[in-house]
Structure formats: C-alpha cells, structure tokens
C-alpha cells in the first residue's frame, strides 16, 4: 500500500512536519511557515465550550425495536408496527461535574436518546431518576450554580448545595433518590432510564394521552456504595466509559425494555398529584407500565469528540404523534437545550453527521451561518410562500392542542389533592429495606453535617421530618453525632 501524503488544510503536501522554518539553521522561526501557523492555530481551537451541565458523557449507537402495539395511543410512525426498527444514538452523562470529572460519583445520570425516524429526529432527554430537584425552569440556573464549583473556593461547597435545598423543599423527593442506593450506578449499563417529564401522545383519531417513559435495564440494576464509588474513582476515573466501550466491543450489547405509563388527557385535571410536576411520580397502581419495545446498543462511536461531544439533543425535536405537555420544566427545556447547542456548536449543528436525520429528508429555508453545508440549488428560493415549488406546510399539527385559560402572569402551579413537597419522598423512604434506610441516612448526614450554618441544617431536617417521622429523626441523630465528633 502506498504511503499517504500529509497535507495542509488546503490540501497542499507538507514537506517537513518535524522542523519549523527558520531564518538560518539557528535563527528565529519565520512567520511565513504556513504549516506551522495553521497547525498551532487549529490546535488552539480544538476545544469547544463544554456543556454547562451534563459535560462528562459517553455514547453509543444502536436500534429501537417495537415489541408491542401502541397505535391506540400514538400515530408516531416509528412506533407504528411490531418489529419496526429505528436507528438510535444515546448519550449517558453525569450532571454537575465538568468534562474532567470522574464517572463513579453520586450524581444523577443523563439518559439522552436520539431516534433517527423517517419523520425526522425525535429526541428524548431524561435521567436515570423519574423525578427532578425543581419544578419551574426559572430556578434552574440557581440550582446548577449551587451544585457547581463555588466562584471563591473553586470547589463544590456543602454550604451552597444544602442551602439551596433548604430553601427548595420540592427537592426532598429527588434528594431521597440521589442519596439512596441508586445514587451511584455501577455502570451506565446497570441503571434504568426515564423520560422524567410528562409528554403527550396523540393517536390517529386525534385522541390525546399523557405519558411517562421508563427504560428498564435488562442487565439488572447494580449500584455502588459511597465507599465502593470512591475506590472506583481512584482506580479508573473513566470507569463507566471504559465499561460501555469494552462491553460493546466484546459483543455484549446492552439493552433496555421501554415501558410507558399512559394517562388519558381528560384525567389529568383531577388526578391526585399534579401530573405535570417533575418532582412527582405517577404510582404504578394508578397507571401501570405498558411495554413498548427494546433499546439495544451495538456500535461504539469512531470519534468521541465528533459523535459524543458534538451530539446535540433538544426535547423540542418531536415527530407527528408526540408532543409536549404543560410540564413547566419541560417547557423551559424546549428552549434552553436547543439554544445551548447553538451557542456551543453553532446554528448549523443539526448538519453535523451525528445530529443530521438519517431516515428523513431535511427541506426548509434555513440558509447560511457558520459551518453551513446545506445550501440548496441555484433555483431554490430562501423564502416562503413562493411560486417555485419550495417546501410548504402540511397543516397537520404534530400533537393535540392544549386548552388554556386565565390571566397572564407568574403563578404557582395549581395544587392537586395530594400535592405537597414531602408525601412522595416519605413513600419512597417507607419502600426501602432497613439496610437501604441505613445507607440513605448515612449519605445524607455525611453531606449535611459539613454545613456551617445551623439554620440551613435545621431547614433541611424539617423537610425530612415532614416526609416521614422516622426518616427525620434518624437523619437528625446522624447529623448531630457527626458534628459532635
């Protein structure tokens, strides 16, 4: 095989890649050395802004196969027949840490899935927990600031973490999840995934349903204790990335079974919990799981930067038959996720191979901008409506309309009969075994005992007392014991 020739970005052959051009053998480097300048300038620009959240991630390709008929609930084409397969890309991630953080830490895990459907890309952006810390997007920047590195100390501060939670009682449910046994997954393969938010499905007759997604791991749920997590971080900070990569390379393809909970739209108004509050779950006794299909991961990316770091997910990428709900956090993310990608990757990030549709044709009037690769033909007009056969609207909404009423303004979400910030956290605690409760209490006390302000500690303890008397008593005793040591 003939030797490949090294070239510059413009395609010119490089004569010497070992020595810079100089003024004489011992003289200074010349500004005219085009290869040197281009190489250094490109190196300076190899990194793009990291994600503010979900910065550290791993990804893989695979497919989703429908195993059960759900056409009574949605007209989405990729779910239209049993046996139908759709190519997918998934990105797992930690939430709070930076790109250089470790994998085996106590943190929620992102579970972002891209379906390359024939009707366009459908992005489902969730976590490995069914709930979240807050219910309104206006609080999201403050929440993340409290969990990130302090601007003065340069480290994550227990005072900041627990102070935000002390003043945000709706976080109690998610804290109970995070500090429990599933707070540190053993690997990405051994955790469940959730859409977390409530979404809308619409069938061919126009009937609307609200749904929650549950991806149950077929490898079984496995988690690490705090001690095991710390040990794993010391051995291999990239443990989850390593595990996912090697499993797929060995042909041990991870898989999940997708179930959904389905609520007829008419039942939402009178349900005992606000069905659009992401800090709440729908008990399975009320809305049992319905199997939909299976997700299988069978191919590793060839280039982590190009395909994992540049992967862009936006929960507003819907397809016919699937749409949003009035879930406030979801509504905020419909804007924020896409805008974050425009900032990080540019307005044409959807043209990158990992983000571009694979089973659908893109035909719109978007033109130009940084890194544009899709320009259309010389006959195409870049406006609509036009008289030259350009793409036109279908007149068919992707999802059913949502009725609204009342005055504009800032309002608290309407309360349902069982709505409070503590009931479901208490229910979760009471489901735990004695050993699980021991570990939960120890994990909470380990962080809360480091807080320097007594009033912040007392506010947090009040939340655990409100969730369950035994829960609150045990956390209070554990915190007191650690602070007296």
Active site residues: 54, 127
Q: What is the 3-state secondary structure (H, E, C) of the chain?
A: CCCCCCECCCCCECCCCCCCCECCCCCCECCCCHHHHHHHHHHHCCCCCCCCCCCCEEEEEEEEEECCCCCCCCCCHHHCCCCCEEEEEEEEEECCCCCCCCCCCCCCEEEEEEEEECCEEEEEEEECCCCCCCCCHHHHHHHHHHHCECCCCCCECHHHHHHHHHCCHHHHHHHHHHCCHHHCECCHHHCCEECCCCEEEECCCCCEEEEEEEEEECCCCCECCHHHHHHHHHHCCCHHHHHHHHHHHCCCCCEEEEEEEEEEHHHCCCCCCCCCCCCCCCCCCCCCCEEEEEEEEEECCCCHHHHHHCCCCCCCCCCCCEEECCCHHHHHHHHHHHHHHHHHHCCCHHHCCCCCCCCCCCCCCCCCCCCCCCCCCCCCCCCCCCCCCCCCCCCCCCCCCCCCCCCCCCCCCCCCCCCCCCHHHHHHHHHCCHHHHHHHHHHHHHHHCCCCCHHHHHHHHHHHHHHCHHHHHHHHHHHHHHHHC
CA 67 to CA 451: how far, in whole Å? 50
CA 125 to CA 139: how far, in whole Å? 19
Q: What is the number of other CB atoms lying within 10 angstroms of the CB of residue 10?
A: 7
CA 372 to CA 394: how far, in whole Å? 26
Q: At what angle do helices 469-484 and 434-448 cross, to 10 degrees?
A: 50
Contacts of 376 (CB under 8 A, 6+ apart): 367, 382
CA 276 vs. chain centroid, Å, equals 18
Distances (CA, A) of 77 to 113, 274, 387, 398: 17, 30, 31, 12
CA 270 vs. chain centroid, Å, equals 30
């Amino acid at each position: 095989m003939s030797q490949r020739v090294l070239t510059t970005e413009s395609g010119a052959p490089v004569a010497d890649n070992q020595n810079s051009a100089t003024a004489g053998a011992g003289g200074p480097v010349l500004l005219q050395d085009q290869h040197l300048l281009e190489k250094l300038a490109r190196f300076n620009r190899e990194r793009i802004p990291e994600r503010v959240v979900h910065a550290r991630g791993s990804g893989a390709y695979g497919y989703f196969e429908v195993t059960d008929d759900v056409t009574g609930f949605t007209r989405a084409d990729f779910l239209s027949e049993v046996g139908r397969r759709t190519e997918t890309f998934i990105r797992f991630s930690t939430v709070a840490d930076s790109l250089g953080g470790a994998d085996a830490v106590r943190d929620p895990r992102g579970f972002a899935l891209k379906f390359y459907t024939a009707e366009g890309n459908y992005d489902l952006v969730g976590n490995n927990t069914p709930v979240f810390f807050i219910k309104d997007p206006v609080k999201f920047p403050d929440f993340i600031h409290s969990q990130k590195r302090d601007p003065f100390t340069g480290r994550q501060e227990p005072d900041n973490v627990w102070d935000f939670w002390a003043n945000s009682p709706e976080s109690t449910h998610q804290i109970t999840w995070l500090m429990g046994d599933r707070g540190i997954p053993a690997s990405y393969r051994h955790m469940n995934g959730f859409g977390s938010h409530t979404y809308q499905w619409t069938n061919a007759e126009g009937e609307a349903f609200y749904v929650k997604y549950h991806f149950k791991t077929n490898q079984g749920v496995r988690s690490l204790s705090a001690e095991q997590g710390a040990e794993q971080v010391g051995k291999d900070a990239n443990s989850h990335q390593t595990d996912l990569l090697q499993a797929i390379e060995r042909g041990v393809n991870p898989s999940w079974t997708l179930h959904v909970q389905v609520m007829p739209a008419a039942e939402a108004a009178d349900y005992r919990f606000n069905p659009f509050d992401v800090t709440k779950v729908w008990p399975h006794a009320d809305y049992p799981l319905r199997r939909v299909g299976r997700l299988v991961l069978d191919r590793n990316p060839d280039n982590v930067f190009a395909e994992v770091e540049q992967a862009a997910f936006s929960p507003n990428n819907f397809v016919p038959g699937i749409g949003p709900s009035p879930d406030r956090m979801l509504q905020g993310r419909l804007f924020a996720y896409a805008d974050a990608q425009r900032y990080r990757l540019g307005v044409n990030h959807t043209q990158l191979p990992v983000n571009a549709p694979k089973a659908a044709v893109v035909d719109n009037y978007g033109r130009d901008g940084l890194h544009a690769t899709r320009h259309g033909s010389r006959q195409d007009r870049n406006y609509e409506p036009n008289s030259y056969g350009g793409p036109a609207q279908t007149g068919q909404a992707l999802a059913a309309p949502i009725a609204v009423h009342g005055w504009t303004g800032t309002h608290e979400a309407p309360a349902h009969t069982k709505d409070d910030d503590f009931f479901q956290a208490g229910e979760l605690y009471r489901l735990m075994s004695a050993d699980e409760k021991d570990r939960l209490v120890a994990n909470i006390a380990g962080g809360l005992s480091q807080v320097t302000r007594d009033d912040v500690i007392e506010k947090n303890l009040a939340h655990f007392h409100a969730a369950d008397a035994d829960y609150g008593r045990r956390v209070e005793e554990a915190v007191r014991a650690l602070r007296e040591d």
